[in-house]
Amino acid sequence: MSKRLFKDDLTNTWFYLGIVFGLLSIVAVTVFIFFGDKLSYGGITCAVYKMIHIYCPGCGGTRSFNHMIHGHIIQSILCNPFVPYTYAVYPVFMINTILVKTTKKLGFTGFPVTVLILTGVGLLLAQWVIRNVLLLAFNITCL
């Protein structure tokens, strides 16, 4: 019986999904460097907001990503905090996992990746609820 490399059974799955996410991020950053302003301000509109006039959980994500890659972290957090959270947690997880897989000595085998992903989902849902409460109860638009 072989010893488990990670305490979280899903670490390998998240790692391989992280590789795909990283490759897609390279493409997205390249596109946003050239077309970010057009995509963020006028190019893409939220179908949910357009049809039923409430924010969806992803509302502000495009603008958040555009602000983040241009170094405007505070504006990125205000547009959609899930985007900078993801890009803060992602490299830490990937570097840690690569260290554990390659050296078996460096890195933290108990890295709480599933907890961090669930925290990100909670953050995404919390900002969605807060924005819609502000919009529907107080007529305050956040984006």
CA 133/CA 130 separation, integer angstroms: 5
Q: What is the pLDDT of residues 60-71, one digit of tens each?
A: 998 899 899 989
Q: What is the mean pLDDT of the chain?
A: 90
Give yes or no for a contact between 57 and 125, defined as CB atoms under 8 angstroms apart: yes
Instruction: Out of 15-29, 78-92, 95-109, pick the least confident.
Output: 95-109
The pTM assigned to this predicted structure is: 0.85
Count of all residues that appear for the chain in the document: 143
User: What are the structure tokens assigned to 118, written together?
Assistant: 């669930």
Domain residue limits, the chain: 11-138
Q: Say how far apart CA 138 and CA 124 lie, in whole Å.
A: 21
- What would the two tokens of residue 79 be? 């547009």
Q: Which long-range contacts (CB under 8 A, 24 or more apart) does 69-78 make?
A: 69/29, 69/32, 69/33, 69/36, 70/36
